[in-house]
């Protein structure tokens, strides 16, 4: 691991533990076992470190999403399984970068560069959800939707995916397998009215197999 990578990983650990607001570049350098000058050789300030963490989470998140979804066969059972697997993957992934989720509004408010980058990624990811639903309509997994209905449905799903961890934490709940499974149930509750009969049958088969 390079010094730059070590700085990013150390900062991520400290931010998750303490919050980015109370962690200084000197704290990060000390935890890395390097001088502040060495840290500043790689990053001019803490904002640059946070942006580097954001770049990492964007890249790794896309890789993990594609690993689940890119090669799945066009079958309703596979579509159901991929959607459930994706939700759990995203939540576990978000937990790894939980400081960013917790502090999102403040971080974007204080760093216009980060805000611009996040807005672009946010639009891209929401489009991915839109495309996944449109693909599922084409495969007969989701019932056809009018354009306005599709937009609202995508926003509903995106809100659940994006903010489930925040919902748990503000309610004083732990993030664990049980609460992630409950998030999956909430997601499926939003999906179920839009499922076609073959998709409902496939979902029932998946649940039976899991028992």
Q: What is the pLDDT of residues 131-145, one digit of tens each?
A: 888 888 888 889 999
The CA dihedral of 28, 31, 32, 38, to the nearest 10 degrees, is: 50
Distance between CA atoms of residues 189 and 199, nearest Å: 14
Element (H, E) at 111: none
Mean pLDDT on 156-174: 93
Distance between CA atoms of residues 92 and 84, nearest Å: 13
Residue 41 has pLDDT above 70, yes or no: yes
Q: Out of 1.10.357.10, 2.60.40.10, 1.10.150.530, 3.40.190.120, which CATH number does the structure's domain 46-210 have?
A: 1.10.357.10
If one compares 1 and 28, the residue with the highest pLDDT of the two is: 28
Which residues on neighbouring strands pair with residue 142, listed in sequence order? Answer: 195
Residues 59-73 have pLDDT tens digits of 988 887 777 666 666
Instruction: Give the start-to-end residue ranges of the domains of the chain.
Output: 1-44, 46-210
Distance between CA atoms of residues 92 and 101, nearest Å: 12
Q: Which fold has domain 1-44?
A: Arc Repressor Mutant, subunit A (1.10.10)
Distance between CA atoms of residues 18 and 131, nearest Å: 37
* Ordered alpha helix ranges (H), the chain: 3-18, 25-32, 36-42, 46-69, 76-96, 98-102, 104-110, 112-138, 147-170, 177-191, 197-210
Domains 1-44 and 46-210 share a fold: no
What are the tokens at 24?
């200084």
pLDDT of residue 184: 87
Residues 85-116 have pLDDT tens digits of 788 888 888 899 999 999 999 999 999 999 99
Residue 12 has pLDDT above 90, yes or no: yes
pTM for the whole thing?
A: 0.85
pLDDT of residue 207: 65
If one compares 67 and 201, the residue with the highest pLDDT of the two is: 201
């Amino acid at each position: 691991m390079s010094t730059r990578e070590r700085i990013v990983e150390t900062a991520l650990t400290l931010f998750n533990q303490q919050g980015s607001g109370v962690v200084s570049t000197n704290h990060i350098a000390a935890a890395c076992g390097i001088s502040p000058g060495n840290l500043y050789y790689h990053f001019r300030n803490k904002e640059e470190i946070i942006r580097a963490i954001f770049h990492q989470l964007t890249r790794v998140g896309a890789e993990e999403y594609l690993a689940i979804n890119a090669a799945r066969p066009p079958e309703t059972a596979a579509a159901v399984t991929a959607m459930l697997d994706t939700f759990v993957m995203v939540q576990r992934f978000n937990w790894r970068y939980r400081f960013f989720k917790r502090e999102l509004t403040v971080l974007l408010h204080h760093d216009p560069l980060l805000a611009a980058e996040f807005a672009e990624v946010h639009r891209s990811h929401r489009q991915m959800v839109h495309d996944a639903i449109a693909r599922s309509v084409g495969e007969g997994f989701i019932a056809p939707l009018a354009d306005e209905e599709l937009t609202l449905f995508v926003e509903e799903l995106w809100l659940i995916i994006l903010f489930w961890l925040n919902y748990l934490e503000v309610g004083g709940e732990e993030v664990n397998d049980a609460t992630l499974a409950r998030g999956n149930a909430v997601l499926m509750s939003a999906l179920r009215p839009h499922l076609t009969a073959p998709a409902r049958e496939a979902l029932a088969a998946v649940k039976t197999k899991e028992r």
